[in-house]
Amino acid sequence: SVLSVTLVLTLGPHGMSQFERVYKIDRLLRSRIAPNKQKLLTVLEVSEPTLKRDLEYMRSRLGAPIAWNRQTGGYSYAADQPEFTVPGLWFSSDEIHALLLIIHIVDQIQPSFLADQMKPFRDRLRAIANAPTGQFEPISRRVRMVAGATRISNPACLDSVTRATLARKRLSIVYQSRSRSAETEREVSPGRLIYYRTDWYLDAWCHSAGAIRRFAVDAIRAVRILETPAQELPPESERTGYGIFAGAPVNQAVLRFNATAAPWVVSSVWHPNQELESLADGGALLRVPYSHEKELLMDILRHGSDVEVLAPESLRRSIAETLAAAARLYQVSRRTAARATATRQSAATG
């Protein structure tokens, strides 16, 4: 299919282009209250002759059945005429800014993802934005998005997964399980793609397991789009797990943050069903339900010594063991460095 985009950039008084005025006139004529002449002049911020030219342009050039309604005292589309649609796709200046910003963000999320498909549209918008009106400048000059580390090493694989998901086709994939370090070939019906914390995941019906599975896209080693129609996923149940992990919570983490970390914790949401309590010493007590401790463990560790796990004991023990293992690693490194220094000093004095 071909999307025809018609964009007119004839500037009028006050810097508003003609396509923006036509766009606004169309919206006003479709509102419940028919706009009178004064309403149109006020909204468009133009003179009466300019308004007349715009209305005549819409009637003669675009075929708009604009009529004056004596009963309402305003303008409207004639009810006895065929339904009128403004030809092409029209954008206001704010909408152009918004679209360019969205494209810029998508480029930062995955630079090569959908690049070929979006390039013509992006180039057209940039050409409009850089028109000799002096109103626009490159979005990248004013907005910078620093993306975190991504694990997508094969963008073509992500592209195939996306195409199959949108086209509702099944996929044949070779998937590497991190837990078993083994590759398996599966036929799956892709249901939804999830972009979470700089990584892509695929919720799909696995025909081998006969159940819904979540696949990390970066762990898909090979992919092939099949002609078989995809099976739809059952309705998504309420997500109550922590982070990317689904399932009913089986535990509640009780975390005590000191006064240093509390302002950041208070302004963030760890879980929709969290409970947050401010403490007298400036700290904060956070209660978070979870079904799997893996992601919660990583989020707690990044706060270092500014947080203490009070409950449950199993989570507290996991944090303690992880920190102890890290401490041992640095102790070994320090002893090794000390021996190396002593060896060098001995060689120098010998």
pLDDT in tens, 235-270: 765 556 777 666 677 889 999 999 999 998 988 888
Question: 107 CB contacts (<8 Å, ≥6 apart)?
Answer: 115
Structure tokens at 305: 């010594």
Least confident range from 47-61, 99-113, 164-178, 324-338: namely 99-113
Query: Which is more confident, 91 or 168?
Result: 168
Q: Are 205 and 164 in contact, with CB atoms under 8 Å apart?
A: no
Place of tokens 């949108």: 166
Query: Which is more confident, 149 or 7?
Result: 149
pLDDT in tens, 176-234: 886 667 889 999 999 999 888 778 889 999 998 999 998 989 899 999 999 999 999 88
Query: Which is more confident, 135 or 236?
Result: 236
Number of neighbours of residue 173 by Cβ within 10 angstroms:
26
Give the residue-averaged pLDDT of 25-33.
87
CA distance 191 to 170: 10
pLDDT band at 41, cuts 50/70/90?
very high
User: What does the pLDDT read at residue 347?
Assistant: 65
CA distance 71 to 68: 9
The closest alpha carbon to 95, from 129, 67, 137, belongs to 129
User: What does the pLDDT read at residue 135?
Assistant: 53
Q: Are 48 and 55 in contact, with CB atoms under 8 Å apart?
A: no
User: What does the pLDDT read at residue 81?
Assistant: 79
Structure tokens at 318: 């996991």
User: What does the pLDDT read at residue 108?
Assistant: 66
Query: Which is more confident, 141 or 203?
Result: 203
Percent of the chain at pLDDT > 70 equals 73
Query: Which is more confident, 237 or 4?
Result: 237
CA distance 339 to 332: 11
Structure tokens at 31: 């509102």
Query: Which is more confident, 150 or 303?
Result: 303
pLDDT for residue 125 is more than 80 = no
pLDDT in tens, 74-110: 999 888 777 787 776 556 667 777 777 777 777 766 6
User: What does the pLDDT read at residue 10?
Assistant: 41
pLDDT in tens, 256-315: 999 999 998 988 888 888 999 999 999 999 999 998 888 899 999 999 999 999 999 999
